[in-house]
Amino acid sequence: MRCRSVAVNLGLIGMLWCAAAWSQAPSPSLPQPTLPPPAPAPMTPAPSVAGEAWVLLDHATGRVLAGHNEREPRPPASLTKIMTGYVVAAEIAAGRVHEDDQVRISENAWREGGAGTDGSFSALVVNSEVRLGDVLRGLVVQSGNDAAIALAEHVAGSEAAFADLMNRYAAQLGMTESHFVNAHGLTAEGHVMSARDVALLGRAMIAQFPEHYRLYSVKEYTYNGIKQYNRNGLLWKDDSVDGIKTGHTSAAGYCLAASAEREGQRLISVVMGIQGGRSDGFRLREEGNQSLLNWGFRTFETHTVYAVDAVVHAPTVWQGTADQVNLGVAQPLQVTIPRGRYADLQAKMQLPAQLVAPIEQGAEVGRVTLKLGDELVADVPLVAQQAVPAGGFFKRTMDGFWMWWESD
């Protein structure tokens, strides 16, 4: 910027001197964040997991760390109720329903989801009215089918209309291998989820509705004099696990979605389609999720490379009221990589040859990419952190000359 002021004072001679100086100036380098002490770990293969489909996902970045048939649509059993709870939480957040609403327990909810069925139930009394917050706890903790139907009817008027709502939310979340027919997950034609979609749904719920997600860590809940226990056995076995949901039908097999947080890193695992008897099914779905989580935490680490307020680069701006603009990222730039490889990350910027005002705050003006060896691990926009309005006539004229000179 000193050259521009010299040019103004010295006229054409100053312009020529500055042009020569600029032509020899080095390209700006991308600043690197402070590197944590490396913690190398051998890159061992993912564990062998029982089940016809499974996946391990990093919560912060959404990166799939390992999987098997993770995009295969399958009967999800009560993993469906993760979506049921998500929809209710979203409708509460939108103000369309409230936790203090009185939910009528219809004969349909009682008959199709109550004690007379093969599935789990929340002991809701037919034709009674129950506070929505209590019905929601019955859905999450006890996995009540009656609770699922009652909530669907309260939110959307009917279970069919609620299923349509579930599908709309699923589309918004990018759950491309899922389709919902009911709110409880009992086997029905066309009612499917993939392991990847279950993990994506869990990630969205944890990020968007943390208060609702806390229900999934509740180990027991008493309603109508009946103590109901959470069926996720990992809640008792691993203090870092705080959700998410179990499921079982003969078609779906034994299923479990789990999430754990250790030292600020959160992972989500999903195991579906374990066949066999009850005791083996319970054991294998817990062991499968536990081994995936342990392997993931041991093998990978997640870093915030650039926070939203970090200045990634401050390039020259032409014909503006300021001579530079600070560039950053619109969302925290996070990466999940094998442990001990952070120092091997390579960052590059893509910017126009010349930035010309006006530039609006938040406008995308370039991109920053991160690579680990040949693998592209991040590619995000660089945005202006402040506006740069167009300068006056003299400023635009002077800079116009320099832009012409540099472009030759």
At 320, the amino acid letter reads G
Instruction: Please state, in angstroms and rounded to a whole number, the distance separating the CA atoms of residues 383 and 19.
Output: 28
Q: What is the pTM of this model?
A: 0.86
At 326, the amino acid letter reads N
pLDDT in the model for residue 21:
35
pLDDT in the model for residue 1:
43
β-sheet bridge partners, residue 267 = 58, 260
Using only the alpha carbons of the chain, give its radius of gyration: 28
pLDDT in the model for residue 11:
36
From the candidates 122, 143, 259, 291, give the one annotated as an active-site residue.
Answer: 143
pLDDT (tens digit per residue) in 215-265: 999 999 887 787 888 999 999 999 999 999 999 999 999 999 999 999 999
53-299: CATH number: 3.40.710.10
At 309, the amino acid letter reads D
Angle among Cα 205, 197, 221 to the nearest 5 degrees reads: 45
Instruction: Please state, in angstroms and rounded to a whole number, the distance separating the CA atoms of residues 135 and 230.
Output: 15
pLDDT in the model for residue 234:
98
From the candidates 81, 106, 194, 269, give the one annotated as an active-site residue.
Answer: 81
From the candidates 78, 106, 178, 194, give the one annotated as an active-site residue.
Answer: 78
Residue 11: left (phi > 0), alpha (psi -120 to 50), or beta? left
Backbone angles phi, psi at 330, to 5 degrees: -75, -30
pLDDT in the model for residue 122:
65
Give, for 10, the enclosing helix (H) or strand (E). helix 2-10
Alpha-carbon dihedral 161, 164, 165, 171, rounded to 10 degrees: 180
pLDDT in the model for residue 7:
37
Q: Is residue 81 flagged as an active site residue?
A: yes
- CA dihedral (302, 307, 313, 319) positive or negative: positive
Tokens read off for 374: 């040949």
Which whole-number Å values give the CA distances from 233 to 222, 230, 237, in the listed order? 18, 8, 7
pLDDT (tens digit per residue) in 54-97: 999 999 999 999 999 999 999 999 999 999 999 999 999 999 99
Domain ranges across the chain:
26-30+307-407, 53-299
Q: Indicate the burial class of 407 (C-beta count within 10 angstroms; 0-12, 13-18, 19 or more).
A: exposed
Contact between 390 and 329 (Cβ < 8 Å) = no
pLDDT in the model for residue 149:
96
Tokens read off for 162: 């609620």
For domain 26-30+307-407, say whether CATH 1.25.40.10 is its number: no
Instruction: Please state, in angstroms and rounded to a whole number, the distance separating the CA atoms of residues 72 and 230.
Output: 27
The structure tokens 């949901």 sit at 245
Q: Is residue 78 flagged as an active site residue?
A: yes
Q: Is residue 143 flagged as an active site residue?
A: yes
User: What residues in the chain have per-residue pLDDT under 70?
Assistant: 1-42, 113-123, 407-408
pLDDT in the model for residue 403:
74
Using alpha carbons, select from 199, 212, 220, 215 the residue that is nearest to residue 266. Answer: 199
Paired sense of beta strands 364-372 and 345-350, if any? antiparallel
